[in-house]
Structure 1
Amino acid sequence: MTLSTSETLNAHRGEGEQTPHARFRVSGMDCGGCERKAVAAATRVKGVIDAEANAAAGTLDVFLEAQTPPDEAAIDQAMRGLGYEVVHDEQTSSAAGVATPETAWWQSAKGKLVLVSGALLAAAAVLRLFWPALGSWPFVAATLVGLYPIVRSAWQALRVGEIFTIEALMSIAAVGALMIGAAAESAVVVVLFAVGELLEGVASSRARQSISALSSLAPSTARRLDGDEPTEVPADTLAPGQRVLIRPGDRVPCDGRIEQGGAYLDESPVSGEAEPLYKTAGDAVLAGTINHDGALTVEVTRRAEDNTIARIIRLVEDAQAAKAPVARFIDRFARWYMPAVVALALLLALLPPLVVGMAWSESVYRALALLLIACPCALVISTPAAIAAGLSSGARRGLLIKGGAVLETLGQVKTLVLDKTGTLTAGAPEVTDIEAWQGIGEDDVLRLAAALERESGHPIAAAIVARAGERDLTLPAVTGGRALAGAGIAGQVDGQEITLASPAHVGGMVSLAPAATTRIKALEEEGKSITVLVQDAVAVGLIALRDEPREDAREGLAALSRLGVNTVMLSGDNPRSAAAIGKTLGIEAHGGLLPDDKASRVAAWQASGRGPIGKVGDGINDAPALATAEVGIAMGGGTDVALETADAALLKDRVTGIAELIRLSRATLANVKTNVALALGLKAIFLVTTALGITGLWIAVMADTGATVLVTLNAMRLLRHRF
């Protein structure tokens, strides 16, 4: 159990203040009906003002009165009364708080009911065969014994105000069948119901395991460095500031920062990034990633309960609790649907005997079968099961989506607005052109420029020095180095005065040849920043730099185009640079925009019918536009911004991930539609056939539980979604 504050509920209610909130792990919840019963029971506990249950994640969130501690014993008792179990802290994974793997089906309460009721039915059939004089009593006994836990569950639900539950309808149908002399069929119905509930539980358990599997990514132990000697300790005891040793082949046990060493790290388990990334001193590492080679000394930066994996799991669970509009509609529909069908069953029992003279036993039998068809379990679970599977599938791919509503909206996006710097481009300038004049070589220009810039921390300086390093150039010593305010840098190399400065500054120092001036203007028109190298009052070359598009930018934009999504780039960079990048990528581009200007453009496009609008950015500088758009997407490699701002986040930090998000959304919505069609179609068919007397009780049970299992299994196909 965890205690925190709820942002989800407050956002849902529109309140500004935080509500004390406790989360419990609950096993045994498998469908929307289970969620409603758990919520009804929890809200009757003193001090609880509201509750939210999430069957897919196996969680119960209770929202408490101010300054009221959660009454764990009362919550535990309320859940046990419904046949559920609160999983306490010692039974959970401390790294992420995810419940331990489910028990084997034959050890669960539902599995035991199947075995007992099945054995009783078989025994009754044998007794009926060899001792016919016993009549229907063996089947009556089998029905009553198998029905007992079902009746008890129905009674507990009734006590918390849940009248129309599948257990209540099942109890009425089974007892009614006994009363009209259909004991054998009643016993079969009890067994089929138990089997259906078990299958539903197994299917739901598999969906939950897709989330809890994330918690197993982080190792359970770590090699903590006490001095220089490693000591093996539980990973969940690591604290910020401590140091750990990570050997080649080890999984990283914590979020941290490399102090010593360098190695290629496989981040695919966490972010979905296919290529291993080389990390060295100063670089951040994430729990659950794999060290391919090289020993690393890492400083712990987050506790286990706050590491990237734990936060992803909490985000996915919270997202599953945030229902999509279609799910909320189906919940409302189901609450009207069940009473309506119960009323229809009463009419079916009463009217035919009174109007057309049908036998009472026949009309009651049809009405009882209709009651079993009435339960909307398959319909209610059709949407959350698909959304839960979609969210889990995305999380395993490094695509984090904050709720079913966001997942639904993503697939409807018509226009996608992208930031330039750090989104479509690498976020740092790169050397694109080196030109030499006056008889010296390109390497000489680069060598002298890098020598001047070696001690500077400016991004342009870093790019020039990095390019010199790529060419293995030996840099000469610089004396008398000095900065030229807002213009460049100067110094002496081998007794010669060397200056590296902007064309405007150089133009006031020396005379540039017409060809050089023409070339500088052409490069500037391409959105490049130019620095000119001057040696002893003679311009001897230039270096052009630009924040270049990401390697996958063109591929990502092409994928969005194939999906029918229009793309636009909004940038705070100067219009010339923005236009140059836009031309390179083939995208509509607008530059020179302040954050509020970007938000205004988004709002104007929404008003003109170009929406729904999606906005992609870093989650901070683009905050107004992210908030204005229907859905905001943050790019970042596991940072706080990527996880906690916007509506969705791309952990693997690739433009192609945006199209993957939209494809996942559309696949999930298609799955939802299929599920709803399956649930309603089967209900409609069997409502008609039952009312006409074509199908009976046991077919009704198979139709109900079978439909539930079908939609759950169909939803689980999303766990294998191909991106």
Structure 2
Amino acid sequence: MTALLTQTRFKIGGMDCASCAAKIDTAVRRLDGVADVSVSVTGASMTVSHGGSLNDNKVLRQVAQLGYGIAKAEGGTDGRASVAKAHHADHDHSDAEQAWWRSRRTVLTFACVAAILAAYGVGHLFPVAERWVFLAALLVGLLPIGRRALMAALAGTPFSIEMLMTIAATGAVMIGATEEAAAVVVLFLIGELLEGVAAGRARASIQGLADLVPKTALVERAGDTSEIPAGDLAVGHVIVVRPGNRIPADGEIVEGSSDIDEAPVTGESTPKRKSVGEPVFAGTISSDGVLKVRVTATASDNTIARIVRLVEEAQEAKAPTERFIDRFSRTYTPGVLAVGALVALLPPLLIGGDWNAWIYKGLAILLIGCPCALVISTPAAIAAGLATGARRGLLMKGGAVLEGFRQITAVAFDKTGTLTVGKPVVTDIVAYGRDERTALALAAALEQGSSHPLAQAIRDRAKSDKAPVPPALAAKAISGKGVEGSVGGIAVFLGSGQAAGERAGVTEAQRLAVASLNGQGKTVSVLVADGVVAGLIAMRDEPRPDAAAGIAALKAEGIRAVMLTGDNRRTAEAIAASLGIEARAELLPQDKQRIVGELQREGLKVAKVGDGINDAPALAAADIGIAMGGGTDVALETADAAILHGRVMDVARMVKLSRAVMANIGQNITVALGLKAVFLVTTILGFTGLWPAILADTGATVLVTVNAMRLLRWRG
């Protein structure tokens, strides 16, 4: 029987590239009791799966010896934790919020730059001491790099970027190129610093979402209000939100109404009017009204906190392309060492070439071959894609899911609550002998106090039309038929057409009107007043406002769309016709699963969009399962991806984002390998040396990182 594993999460300081993550991953995996390790550069975090016997201190020591800060992650409102300092370390171990120019890495880089500038000055004044002052300047930067290389080798990563740098710089000193070696070390440190700044931007994109939640909240107790930290809010607390303030927690409005600006969270530019009984989310803004809100989720479990946590976990899950690049780099780096050695040794041995010249070229090849740009090309783009998607309500649980969206060729939608709003609304009012407003008022009077969705739809329409709703006397429900009562002295009945026909004569024109509305997939209630048909009220669960546009956007991308629903065929076909989508109706959950399988056997890559509960079998069977929801537990924690803001158009946006990310990765790999190929040829031909070699590597790394960061501005 397999022992149960425990997961422990750590925050890491000074980890700014995929090579850093690989070293940490390798080192921690070597510890006894560790079953799996997931490292997120963008999340600055690591999750260790282990047996119960693993001592956290072993993990802390192992990572600290590599030169990184590490601390066990503590619970918090946004998943952040302080990062402890490791002794005698060279990377930055400060809190993630510390400005980049105050980090230890920045101090080391500036110290090395100052040392080399001083060496140039001293060398100019005292030429005889030039070699020694440059050697001293070199050691300022090389000693920390060499220590990191040694510790990485002892922890299982002998072919690290630091090792290549150490070998190249030491070799350059041995052949008399001390000045160049010092310059190369400075350029390397500057490149690392730029990587750190870029990685910080990626982290800030998600951290900015967490920072939307205010740090304090006004809690009402016994008529008095007091300010407490938002992190101390408990479920059931009632908080007061003033106009212009951000809402500090997920909750339900219990008093007041206001336009809620959800743009910081959803990107929607138009505020939504919300009142008593409606949900609100942490980080949104009450524009014009005072609200009292009952808290429904603690700070550590509100919508934004869960999004941040899930995105960090997603960034730890590697995409197929990223895993391939990782495997490739493990053989690529030793291969570079071998090529460098052959270039340095074979020409002098076989054709009598100059030893210094060919060793110089071999060392330059080591620098050209540094894998940083190649290794970071994929995770940087994946992390940026996941982050920008989350900020727009497109939550994808891992790089594999993000990458998989580009291959989708068919999307199967549930109807109720997915393509439609999920609750019926009054679509048509046909009055006979009275005006529409009066007919609506009579119907609403009978439906007061009923919790039935159709009754709610009639009351909502009366409210929006400002129809006066008089009291109803002796109102009662008649099982399977409708409801009756007395309104203003008039005997009124509202119910099915058959039941209405038992109480009043229904004309042929009225029957045809009912049949026409039913043919549009609408439910029709017939109003009878004083024994005469007084009106028809038609209701239907209407499509979401962007449903037709969302389906059209998928078709424009060459993706087939199909609706799978348990609803009756007439209603399904009416909705499908209005949206331009094919429909399969009257399906049980297992039927939906079967149809997904049929589509897959046709050679299609299928995404299934549903509510995550009734559609669970089909969601599991699909290549990608997508939960549609407004920040609910189901939407966030079921399926492979979640559309948090209920927009059908977001399915097409996920596909477009995936394609944009994969195109970005292709550009990155081309830049990384292309520059190396060019400088490899020019170095062997003698046109370029150590300086251009490290510039090629550093430049490629910076270009690749900056290109990936462009995805943070993606708008879809």
**TM tier, smaller:** over 0.9
What's the CA shift string for 1:226-271, capped at 9, x where partnerless?
3222222211122222222211111111122222222221122222
For 1:422-441, list aligned pairs within 5 A: 422-437=417-432, 439-441=433-435
Alpha-carbon shift at residue 89 of structure 1 (Å): 6.0
Distance 2:38 2:463 in 1: 57
Q: 1:118 and 2:151 equivalent?
A: no
Percent sequence identity over aligned pairs: 51
Distance 1:118 1:436 in 2: 85
The aligned amino acid for 2:6 is P
Distance 1:332 1:275 in 2: 47
SS in 2 for 1:136: helix
Q: 1:267 and 2:262 equivalent?
A: yes
Segments of structure 2 that go 5 or more residues without pairing to the other structure are 83-94
- Match of 1:545? 539
For 1:227-306, list aligned pairs within 5 A: 227-306=222-301
Alpha-carbon shift at residue 711 of structure 1 (Å): 0.4
The aligned amino acid for 1:366 is K
Cα distance change of structure 1 residues 94 and 636 upon mapping to structure 2, 3 Å threshold: closer
C-alpha contact (below 8 Å) 1:528/1:545 kept by paired residues: yes
- Match of 2:446? 452
Cα distance change of structure 1 residues 115 and 257 upon mapping to structure 2, 3 Å threshold: same
From 19, 23, 30, the counterpart of 2:5: 19
Alpha-carbon shift at residue 639 of structure 1 (Å): 1.0
SS in 1 for 2:171: helix
Distance 1:329 1:62 in 2: 22
Distance 1:470 1:103 in 2: 52
From 662, 672, 676, the counterpart of 2:669: 676
Q: 1:77 and 2:67 equivalent?
A: no
- Match of 1:443? 437
From 200, 204, 211, the counterpart of 1:205: 200
- Match of 1:569? 563
Distance 1:602 1:493 in 2: 51
Alpha-carbon shift at residue 592 of structure 1 (Å): 0.9
Alpha-carbon shift at residue 338 of structure 1 (Å): 1.0
For 1:353-372, list aligned pairs within 5 A: 353-372=348-367
Distance 1:530 1:250 in 2: 44
Distance 2:69 2:275 in 1: 46
SS in 2 for 1:688: helix
From 616, 628, 639, the counterpart of 1:635: 628
Distance 2:101 2:76 in 1: 24
C-alpha contact (below 8 Å) 2:138/2:181 kept by paired residues: yes
SS in 2 for 1:137: helix
Segments of structure 1 that go 5 or more residues without pairing to the other structure are 1-14
More displaced, 284-293 or 682-691? 682-691
For 1:341-360, list aligned pairs within 5 A: 341-360=336-355
C-alpha contact (below 8 Å) 1:22/1:70 kept by paired residues: no
- Match of 2:498? 504
Distance 1:247 1:368 in 2: 65
Distance 2:585 2:70 in 1: 55
- Match of 1:612? 605
SS in 2 for 1:385: helix
From 37, 42, 59, the counterpart of 2:23: 37
C-alpha contact (below 8 Å) 2:377/2:669 kept by paired residues: yes
From 77, 80, 95, the counterpart of 1:97: 80
Distance 2:481 2:341 in 1: 88
Distance 1:599 1:622 in 2: 8
Distance 1:181 1:197 in 2: 26
Q: 1:151 and 2:146 equivalent?
A: yes
Q: 1:693 and 2:686 equivalent?
A: yes
- Match of 1:533? 527
The aligned amino acid for 2:409 is K
C-alpha contact (below 8 Å) 2:76/2:231 kept by paired residues: no
What's the CA shift string for 1:96-139, capped at 9, x where partnerless?
32665443334222212221211221122122212122252222
- Match of 2:53? 68
- Match of 2:36? 50
C-alpha contact (below 8 Å) 2:76/2:300 kept by paired residues: no
Cα distance change of structure 1 residues 478 and 343 upon mapping to structure 2, 3 Å threshold: same
Q: 1:466 and 2:460 equivalent?
A: yes
Distance 2:233 2:366 in 1: 55
The aligned amino acid for 1:399 is L
C-alpha contact (below 8 Å) 2:9/2:73 kept by paired residues: no
C-alpha contact (below 8 Å) 1:81/1:156 kept by paired residues: yes
Alpha-carbon shift at residue 694 of structure 1 (Å): 2.3
Distance 1:261 1:69 in 2: 52
From 581, 585, 588, the counterpart of 1:591: 585
SS in 1 for 2:170: helix
Alpha-carbon shift at residue 300 of structure 1 (Å): 2.1
- Match of 1:581? 575
Distance 1:597 1:722 in 2: 37
From 624, 627, 638, the counterpart of 1:645: 638
Cα distance change of structure 1 residues 228 and 479 upon mapping to structure 2, 3 Å threshold: closer
C-alpha contact (below 8 Å) 1:64/1:70 kept by paired residues: no
TM-score of the superposition, structure 1-length normalised?
A: 0.94
Alpha-carbon shift at residue 689 of structure 1 (Å): 2.1
Distance 2:350 2:649 in 1: 66
SS in 1 for 2:330: helix
C-alpha contact (below 8 Å) 1:102/1:205 kept by paired residues: no
Q: 1:719 and 2:712 equivalent?
A: yes
- Match of 1:523? 517
Cα distance change of structure 1 residues 142 and 230 upon mapping to structure 2, 3 Å threshold: same
What's the CA shift string for 1:543-587, capped at 9, x where partnerless?
111111222222222222222222111111100000011111221
SS in 2 for 1:316: helix
Q: 1:659 and 2:659 equivalent?
A: no
From 681, 684, 699, the counterpart of 1:706: 699
C-alpha contact (below 8 Å) 1:399/1:648 kept by paired residues: yes
The aligned amino acid for 1:663 is K
Cα distance change of structure 1 residues 539 and 135 upon mapping to structure 2, 3 Å threshold: closer
Distance 1:482 1:226 in 2: 40
C-alpha contact (below 8 Å) 1:595/1:624 kept by paired residues: yes
From 131, 134, 142, the counterpart of 2:137: 142
C-alpha contact (below 8 Å) 2:216/2:229 kept by paired residues: yes
Distance 2:534 2:236 in 1: 51
Distance 1:418 1:45 in 2: 46
Cα distance change of structure 1 residues 444 and 257 upon mapping to structure 2, 3 Å threshold: closer
Distance 1:344 1:577 in 2: 69
Distance 1:597 1:16 in 2: 35
What's the CA shift string for 1:16-72, capped at 9, x where partnerless?
98631111111111111101111222234454333221112110111121x33652x
Distance 1:69 1:631 in 2: 35
- Match of 1:555? 549
Alpha-carbon shift at residue 391 of structure 1 (Å): 1.0
TM-score of the superposition, structure 2-length normalised?
A: 0.95
RMSD: 2.0
Distance 1:660 1:36 in 2: 32
- Match of 1:603? 597
Alpha-carbon shift at residue 604 of structure 1 (Å): 0.3
The aligned amino acid for 1:713 is V
Alpha-carbon shift at residue 691 of structure 1 (Å): 2.8
Cα distance change of structure 1 residues 135 and 266 upon mapping to structure 2, 3 Å threshold: closer
For 1:380-399, list aligned pairs within 5 A: 380-399=375-394
The aligned amino acid for 1:643 is L
C-alpha contact (below 8 Å) 1:41/1:79 kept by paired residues: yes
Alpha-carbon shift at residue 708 of structure 1 (Å): 0.8
The aligned amino acid for 2:317 is A
Cα distance change of structure 1 residues 474 and 209 upon mapping to structure 2, 3 Å threshold: closer
Distance 1:501 1:155 in 2: 82
Alpha-carbon shift at residue 423 of structure 1 (Å): 1.5
Distance 1:88 1:292 in 2: 39
C-alpha contact (below 8 Å) 2:426/2:461 kept by paired residues: yes
